[in-house]
Amino acid sequence: MKDLDAVVFYDKPLLKFERLLETYYAFAPKGVRSFLTAIPVWLKEKMFLKRLLRQELTQLYGDEAKKVKMLFPEHHFSHAASAFYPSPFERAAVLTIDGVGEWATASICLGEGNQLTILKELRFPHSLGLLYSAFTYFLGFRVNSGEYKLMGLAPYGNPDSPQVAHYIDLIKRELISIKEDGSLWLNQDYFSYATGLRMVDEDKWEQLLGIKLRKPEDELLEAHCNLGLAIQCITEEVVINMAREAKRLTGATALCLAGGVALNCVANGKIQVAGVFDDMFIQPAAGDAGGALGAALAAYHTYFGKPRRLTDKRDGMNGSYLGPTITDEDIQVTVRKYNAHTTYYPDFNDLSTESARLLAEGNVIGWVQGRMEFGPRALGGRSILGDPRNPEMQKKLNVKIKYRESFRPFAPSVLAERCAEYFDYEGTSPYMLLVHPVKASRLHSLPANYHQLSLRDKLYVLRSDLPSITHIDFSARIQTVHQDTNSRYYNLIESFRQLTGYGVIVNTSFNVRGEPIVCTPEDAYRCFMRTEMDYLAIGNHLFAKQDQPVWPEKDNWKEEFVLD
């Protein structure tokens, strides 16, 4: 503790408490139940977070903790710092968009050198993030974790359908007013998040949209897909307007993005296509985890005045491989604990070659190498891998490995210098935060009745020579893999290319629904044995499923985890 200059928390609790009180007062007498639920927790714990942190640190470190400085930058300033300070830009516009911080729901900042200045804010209760979360809730996904499912569902909507246009018109007429500068106004008659325990007034939404609130396990209908597409289109329109306003206010040529909405990689790709900025950097942990990183960077550069040191690297995140690493000793402990059987390859290149061969034969491989990724995306440190050419791979990964909805798409990991061979994109996307089209020369023609097919039938139409990573709208969420940040993952994909001619593989996070991504060798082995994965590579060790001891049948883990 004596080595620390400060402990930093990523928002200001007193400002957030002020927002709660003013909101309940403004909407009174509505919100009494929510008030009685929330305020006691704030009075007991959250409002006095500084004191609580000091007490907990003192228990751990003794009197040294009483001397350390505690800092509380604002929520959106933390987000902005997480995007600008690791970026490769000396000067940039910074756009942050999420649900809500203290008061702000979006902000535009200017970053110059080690200085970060807030220029404009959108304030609660008007929030693009909360609007998207409201539709996430109405379509049967979990708020604050299921928004990426809504983004994945949207392309199953029919852009030529009159229903999509009808939904867009209804939303703009009744729910939201969009301004040219990207600001927006939400009609609170339809929303409950400000004072209630739910996101929306369900009866009013059902009456307005003409469909019932979807329950999590209900079948996905065409209307659900079309509604998802409608709100995705509106989100993209607002985000691009905000980006243009950031350009107008700053005159910068580069843009930095953070906040939960910056994980909407479809919208991110649309910003690039719109050509508002010459260059862009998105914080890979764009949500609140990245806010913690931003809080530390904000303290370092703005409070303590430390200079930034720009390098010739793509950015300062080191590929986002910032988590714990693994050792051979860790692997051996797991092997002994579970009496596991493993083949050891003294030369990693041999393991890479063998893994590429297994992938080409249709096997699914768990891949655990080096440091764990920081943020929500698996980037080849803790990943599950497959062959993108295999038309059954998406179904196999969703149904037999991840145990989740079959419509969920998978991302390609592609050798950085070969990205343009497969996608209409010539830049880099190391953090899987950009969506761009699959190259037209790789696409297949659609059947004449394509838009009349059910969602399930659409899934199994072969859309390209990379069917397992080509989404239903012929796009892909791209991860470019770079040898300087993850040489082992790069070598595997290169081995696959030499064997098959394709320098791209399927990559999804190493977990099942409801679980966090695995971290340790033991996490990985347990997940491997509880699913229908075929092989597991940890370090220089390869585990084959057929060689392992029988896993206890009583370990019926699928009942432990609900849909995330």
Which of the two residues, 452 and 517, has the higher pLDDT score? 517
Q: How far is CA 453 from the centre of its chain?
A: 29
Owner of token pair 């849909």: 563
Give the CATH fold of the 328-559 domain. Answer: DHBP synthase (3.90.870)
- The pLDDT score that the predictor gives to residue 404 is 61
Neighbouring-strand partners of residue 538: 368, 541
Contact 561, 513 (CB under 8 A): yes
Contact 563, 142 (CB under 8 A): yes
Owner of token pair 């902005």: 80
Q: How sure is the predictor about 2, in pLDDT bands with cuts at 50, 70 and 90?
A: confident
Mean pLDDT score across all residues of the chain: 92
Burial class (CB in 10 A: 0-12, 13-18, 19+), 307: exposed
Whether 501 has a pLDDT exceeding 60, the answer reads yes
Question: What confidence tens digit (pLDDT) does each residue in 319-358 have?
Answer: 999 999 999 999 999 999 999 999 999 999 999 999 999 9
Whether 562 has a pLDDT exceeding 80, the answer reads no
SS3 for 449?
coil
Neighbouring residues of 318: CB distance < 8 A, sequence distance ≥ 6: 485
Cα–Cα nearest to 383, from 494, 535, 498: 535
Sign of CA dihedral 175, 180, 182, 184: negative
Could you tell me whether strands 6-8 and 91-97 are parallel, antiparallel, or unpaired per DSSP bridges?
unpaired
Q: What is the rounded CA–CA span in Å between residue 502 and residue 473?
A: 22
Worst-scoring range by mean pLDDT, 54-63, 75-84, 297-306, 398-407?
A: 398-407
- Sorted by where each begins, the domain ranges of the chain are 1-72, 128-316, 328-559
Residues 461-465, mean pLDDT to the nearest whole number? 89
Residues 57-78, mean pLDDT to the nearest whole number? 93
Q: What is the rounded CA–CA span in Å between residue 214 and residue 235?
A: 21
Contact 481, 495 (CB under 8 A): no
Per the CATH hierarchy, to which homologous superfamily does domain 128-316 belong? ATPase, nucleotide binding domain (3.30.420.40)
Residues 448-453, mean pLDDT to the nearest whole number? 78
Residues 403-421, mean pLDDT to the nearest whole number? 84
Whether 556 has a pLDDT exceeding 80, the answer reads no
Q: What angle do CA 337, 340, 344 make, to 5 degrees?
A: 115
- The pLDDT score that the predictor gives to residue 74 is 96
The enclosing H or E element of 395 equals helix 393-396
Question: What confidence tens digit (pLDDT) does each residue in 347-375 have?
Answer: 999 999 999 999 999 999 999 999 999 99
- The pLDDT score that the predictor gives to residue 434 is 95
Q: How sure is the predictor about 251, in pLDDT bands with cuts at 50, 70 and 90?
A: very high
- The pLDDT score that the predictor gives to residue 554 is 54
Question: What is the percent of the chain with per-residue pLDDT over 70, rounded to a whole number?
Answer: 96
- The pLDDT score that the predictor gives to residue 560 is 59
- The pLDDT score that the predictor gives to residue 559 is 58
SS3 for 437?
strand
Question: What is the percent of the chain with per-residue pLDDT over 90, rounded to a whole number?
Answer: 74
Owner of token pair 């950031």: 246
Question: What confidence tens digit (pLDDT) does each residue in 129-161 have?
Answer: 999 999 999 999 988 888 988 998 999 898 999
- The pLDDT score that the predictor gives to residue 293 is 96
Residues 124-133, mean pLDDT to the nearest whole number? 96
Whether 78 has a pLDDT exceeding 70, the answer reads yes
Neighbouring residues of 338: CB distance < 8 A, sequence distance ≥ 6: 525, 529, 548, 549
Query: Which structure tokens are listed for 23?
Result: 């909101």
Q: What is the rounded CA–CA span in Å between residue 465 and residue 443?
A: 7
Q: What is the rounded CA–CA span in Å between residue 418 and residue 104?
A: 41
pTM value is: 0.92
SS3 for 17?
helix
